[in-house]
Structure 1
Amino acid sequence: MFKRILVATDGSTLSKKAVKSAISLAAQTEAELVAITVVPRYPKNYFEGALTFSPDDVARIEGEWAQEAQGTLDLVSGQAKAAGVRIKTAALSSDLVAEAVIAAAKKHKCDLIVMASHGRKGIKRLLLGSETQHVLTHSTLPVLVLR
């Protein structure tokens, strides 16, 4: 059925459920799992005259975020291997999370994207946006959304 499944995780409780489901589905279909997490780039400054950060501070903060992302991926990798699922992992750096997810799925030739939805409604959804919604509306691949 599926040969390669991409699961996007941010380490949150909901994304951990998506990871668990993706591992289960990959085991059932003997598919390879590709687990990714997207690390944002640290803003250099917001407005002219606002507090700016030194390049060293930015590098340190981005390094901490990358380490945290790798820790999340290591946990997913351990769970997948324990279930007998082949896995590849990647920590991506991008401010465009949904676009990074879609691009990773294409790059790794996945035939399904699995991700969680935080289930925001109303004005919160409008103000905060939805990476999952963006993936759903812009991906040419099937997307399994878990909540």
Structure 2
Amino acid sequence: MYERILVATDGSELSELAVTASIDLALLMNAELVAVKVVHHYPTGYFEGSLLLSQMEVQRMQEQADAEAQRVVDAVKAKADGRGVKNTRAVVMKSELVSEAIIEAARVHKSDLIVMASHGRRGISRLLMGSETLHVLTHSHTPVLVLR
């Protein structure tokens, strides 16, 4: 049924549920797995006006964010490989629009399913913060499995 599953992770405890479920599903379907983490182009805080950072500091912060993102997807790959998933890729994407990057990754990697977690925010906090999961659900042409 599914040949390639994309799991979106941010390294949080909640996204670990999506990682575990996607590995289980990949094993059940004998599917490949693509682990994706999206990193912002510029470190948070740089353009908020609260801090003035030198270009070297910005570059150092970006390198740290990139390294942490790579560590997160490499951990997913190691976990999937250890469980016997036949082919796992660890992908870090740079974008200011997390949901659009996830949708693009699913298209580029020809994924049959996107697995991701939802933080389950409701009311004003959802309205103010937006929902990457909701955006993926409403804009993706690839089926989406959401875990809470």
Bucket of the pairwise TM-score, normalised by the shorter protein? over 0.9
Match of 2:130?
129
Match of 1:30?
30
Match of 2:145?
144
Match of 1:45?
47
Match of 1:12?
12
CA 1:29–1:124 in 2, change beyond 3 Å: closer, same or farther?
A: same
Give the TM-score of the pair, scaled to structure 2.
Answer: 0.94
Please give the alpha-carbon distance, in whole angstroms, between the structure 1 residues aligned to 2:56 and 2:62: 10
Gaps of 5+ in 1: none
Please give the alpha-carbon distance, in whole angstroms, between the structure 1 residues aligned to 2:47 and 2:104: 27
Give the TM-score of the pair, scaled to structure 1.
Answer: 0.94
CA 1:64–1:110 in 2, change beyond 3 Å: closer, same or farther?
A: same
Shift in Å, 1:73 = 1.0
| 1:12 partner letter | S
Shift in Å, 1:56 = 0.8
Cα RMSD after superposing both structures: 1.2
**Moved >6 Å (runs of 4+):** none
Gaps of 5+ in 2: none
Shift in Å, 1:45 = 2.8
| 2:126 partner letter | R
Please give the alpha-carbon distance, in whole angstroms, between the structure 2 residues aligned to 1:88 and 1:63: 21
Shift in Å, 1:42 = 1.9
Shift in Å, 1:94 = 0.8
Partner SS for 1:135: helix
After the TM superposition, which of the residue ranges 104-113 and 70-79 deviates more from structure 2?
Answer: 70-79
Please give the alpha-carbon distance, in whole angstroms, between the structure 1 residues aligned to 2:8 and 2:34: 8
Task: Count residues in correspondence.
Answer: 145
Shift in Å, 1:51 = 4.2
Q: Is the 8 A contact 1:45 1:53 kept in 2?
A: no
